[in-house]
């Protein structure tokens, strides 16, 4: 015999629901006594998007069984509200945000690296590999594939809503509140390796004569040995990053300017 529970989803979790179920309480029919996680996913919401579940006003974790008649409120990851007093369904938040990106997000990976974030990306990772690496290395899985986030192995993931890489970058920075963690030009955009400051002598043979005459600061990737200097693209990237901060009221532009001086 079918049972019924009453669900209400909050804030951007409504993105995943059909119009008739957005921003309202609706009935969900089921049989047996499934875990609340399974019911939420059956309604189309990846569990990685969920941070707090209340059943009849009490906070519960994903394994809570629903048997019928309950009122279930489901909330997304909060950035600004302090809900630490109530139980969060996810394990401890990841202390240092590290990412792995699916095969369609190459440009976003480069942008994240440009801002100094650890962003693992290869264009030949399988879905299984992405899920395993995310779990084993505690990396947040970024993807536009809802199905990938439904894999139970994935505990930290985020569904990218935007299509344009620049907007995707703003989305990630804002969603994970990364503004204060930006360390521009500290990581290789090609391979995700960290950059070391090196002297001109160490890289002289790999730098064009024109650059040797005009640039004084050089870095080299620990991973692929690519050499970087403040060339013509540098100012474009600085403008790009400044734009990112200006678009966001929470971004502290003075802080970024200060940090820029230390690059
Ligand atoms: Zn590299």
Whether pLDDT at 88 is above 70? no
Q: What is the pLDDT of residue 89?
A: 53
Whether pLDDT at 218 is above 70? yes
- CA distances 133 to 47, 61, 130, Å, are 18, 24, 5
CB atoms within 10 A of CB 9: 27
- Calpha distance 189→249 (Å, rounded): 27
Q: 117: CA distance to ligand 1 center in Å?
A: 13
Tell me the per-residue pLDDT of 157-187, one tens digit each, with 9 for 90 and over: 889 999 999 999 999 988 877 877 888 889 9
Q: 144: CA distance to ligand 1 center in Å?
A: 26
Q: 133: CA distance to ligand 1 center in Å?
A: 20
Q: 166: CA distance to ligand 1 center in Å?
A: 22
Q: 224: CA distance to ligand 1 center in Å?
A: 4
With respect to CATH, is domain 3-76 assigned 3.40.50.300? no
Tell me the per-residue pLDDT of 36-46, one tens digit each, with 9 for 90 and over: 999 999 999 99
- Calpha distance 156→172 (Å, rounded): 13
CB atoms within 10 A of CB 241: 21
Q: What is the pLDDT of residue 71?
A: 93
Give the mean pLDDT of the chain.
85
Q: 214: CA distance to ligand 1 center in Å?
A: 23
Higher-pLDDT residue of 153, 33: 33
Whether pLDDT at 261 is above 80? no
Tell me the per-residue pLDDT of 51-82, one tens digit each, with 9 for 90 and over: 889 899 888 899 999 999 999 999 887 543 34
* Tokens of residue 235, six digits: 């100012």
Q: What is the pLDDT of residue 34?
A: 97
Whether pLDDT at 252 is above 80? no
């Amino acid at each position: 015999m079918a049972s019924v529970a009453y669900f209400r989803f909050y804030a951007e979790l409504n993105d995943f629901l059909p119009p008739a179920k957005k921003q309202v309480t609706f009935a969900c029919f089921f049989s047996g006594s499934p875990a609340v996680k399974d019911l939420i996913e059956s309604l189309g919401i990846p569990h990685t998007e969920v941070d707090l579940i209340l059943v009849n006003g009490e906070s519960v974790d994903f394994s809570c069984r629903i048997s019928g008649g309950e009122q279930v409120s489901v909330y997304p990851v909060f950035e600004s509200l302090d809900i630490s007093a109530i139980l969060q369904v996810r394990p401890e938040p990841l202390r240092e945000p590290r990412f792995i990106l699916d095969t369609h997000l190459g440009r976003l990976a480069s942008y994240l690296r440009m801002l100094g974030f650890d962003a693992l990306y290869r264009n030949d990772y399988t879905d299984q590999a992405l899920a395993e690496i995310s779990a084993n290395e505690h990396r947040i899985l970024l993807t536009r594939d809802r199905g990938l986030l439904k894999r139970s192995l994935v505990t930290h993931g985020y569904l990218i809503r935007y299509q344009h890489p620049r907007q995707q970058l703003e989305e990630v920075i804002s969603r994970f509140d990364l503004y204060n963690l930006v360390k521009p030009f500290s990581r290789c955009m090609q391979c995700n390796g960290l950059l070391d400051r090196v002297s001109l002598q160490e890289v002289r043979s790999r730098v064009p004569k024109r650059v040797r005459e005009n640039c004084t600061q050089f870095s080299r990737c620990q991973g692929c040995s690519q050499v970087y200097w403040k060339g013509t693209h540098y100012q474009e990237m600085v403008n790009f990053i400044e734009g990112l901060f200006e678009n966001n009221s929470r971004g502290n532009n003075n802080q970024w300017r200060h940090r820029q001086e230390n690059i």
